[in-house]
Chains A and B, each alone.
Chain A
Amino acid sequence: MLLTLNLNDARPLHEQVAGAIRRAIGEGSYRPGDRLPPARDLAAALGINPNTVLRALRDLRDEGLLEFRRGRGVSVAGRTDGRALLVQRARELLDEAKKYGYSREDLITIVEELT
């Protein structure tokens, strides 16, 4: 599982981790029923507290993306919620727009011009 975090992201870490996992599943590296690597491994790779990863995993379970099973670890429950993924991408787009000096309104104008 490939996880990418943005170092300039101001959101809480567990949200960022949840976003990274959602993106990894959305990009098709995991199908429904596949088991995720243990939270301990993910935390060790990211260099963060395992509890932060667990919190992110619980958020994604509440979202319906993951399911927890006793003895079988965490597995992918269903397809990624398209809306959640879109919201996340839009947020990243917004961050990038701000970096180049465009405001939220400018971005909306750009999207409206796309049709």
Chain B
Amino acid sequence: MRARVAAVAWWLAVAAALLLAPLALRDRLPDPLATHWGSSGSVPDGSSSFTGHLIMTQVLWAGLWLLFFLLGRARDRRAARVTSSACLVAMGVLLLGVDASTLAVNLDAATWREALLPGWHIPAVIAAMVAAGALAAYLSRGAPDEGPAGSGTRPVLGLRPGQRAVWVSRVVNPWLAAATVLTLACAAVMGVLALSGAAPGGFVAGLLPAFVIILVVGLATVAVSVRVGDDLITIGFGPLGWPARRIPLSKVESAWSERRQPGEVGGWGFRGLPGSATIMLRGGECLVLRYRSGGQLTISIDDAERGASLINALIAERVQP
């Protein structure tokens, strides 16, 4: 509730500043105002009338504010909360900075063509925007996400003393494999075309990084395997299980299985931010690991219930004796 009040107050404050500052300086500004500067230098190449400029900034700010305010409606989710407040504050600071810069260069200029933009304005505004956004993200981080309230069942396997238990599972998505091969084939054809001179030569330079990224990401998302044993959870990516990510059990608080669909997490592949990431290769059964630091990692994998029960049993046995 407090965050919403703050967001509305922020909107009004920025809107008032964007409205009142130009009105206060109206006598010293040319009409039309210089509002656009070309990429080549500090000479303006676009202008708009004083009223047009006021309306434009107000509409832009209202639209951006509404977009990022709605994005943060899921306030119980940390990622949504942080993204929303960081973007709200950053966009406000960006508009304020741009407007301040526009007014400063137009001030006391005879016509808009004489409003020259000093080079340091743009980096300064961007730096202010990034700093404000980062600060807002830090301040709005709040408590880590709660686990699912309803399905809070944490299965625990019964381990007998003198028993060694491991769990191995793996998921392969043949469609992702096919898509990777297809994209690779397209990239190869384009490369051949570019090299043989049928396509513009500048293509090749842009093609090679894309080719490598497709190969690496594609291979890594074709298959994923999870191994649980002793005091490690090992997540292997790709058909060879390499690269692998090793998570010590001491960092994990608990595990459970959940049904998730690609649509809920934003698609296939690696999704989300560190702290609430998902490795999604297919919809359905997923293993959810909850870290002691509050973060969460979801991996789509078969037989997740059994794996979760072993993880919980090992945590109970080894980490909290």
Seen from chain A, the residues whose Cβ lies within 8 Å of a Cβ on chain B are: 1-8, 29, 37-38, 40-42, 44-47
Contact = CB atoms under 8 A, between A and B. Distances in A.
B304 to A, nearest CB: 11
B144 interface: no
A1 B163 contact: no
A96 to B, nearest CB: 9
Given A29-B303, A45-B229, A3 B166 contact: yes
Contacts of B166: 2-3, 45-46
Contacts of B167: 1-3, 45
B154 interface: no
A111 to B, nearest CB: 21
5 contacts: A1-B303, A4-B163, A29-B306, A37-B225, A45-B227
Interface in B303-321: 303, 306-307, 310
B168 A37 contact: yes
Interface of B: 157, 162-170, 225, 227-230, 234, 236, 241, 303, 306-307, 310
A37 B165 contact: no
Nearest to A30: B303
A75 to B, nearest CB: 13
Contact of B165 (A4, A44, A47): A4
B284 to A, nearest CB: 14
Nearest to A40: B241
A8 B163 CA distance: 8
A5 B168 contact: no
A40 B227 CA distance: 11
Contacts of A47: 229-230
A46 B163 contact: no
B223 to A, nearest CB: 10
A29 B285 CA distance: 13
A7 B230 CA distance: 13
B53 to A, nearest CB: 63
B169 A6 contact: no
Contacts of A4: 163-165
Contacts of B306: 2, 29
Given A37-B170, A41-B170, A41-B241, A5 B229 contact: no
A41 B168 contact: yes
A46 B228 CA distance: 9
A38 B228 contact: no
A7 B164 contact: yes
Nearest to A9: B162
Nearest to A34: B302
B166 to A, nearest CB: 4
A1 B164 contact: no
A5 B307 CA distance: 16
B235 to A, nearest CB: 12
Given A2-B310, A7-B162, 11 more contacts: A2-B157, A2-B166, A2-B306, A3-B167, A4-B163, A5-B165, A37-B169, A37-B225, A45-B166, A45-B228, A46-B166
Contact of B168 (A6, A8, A42): A42
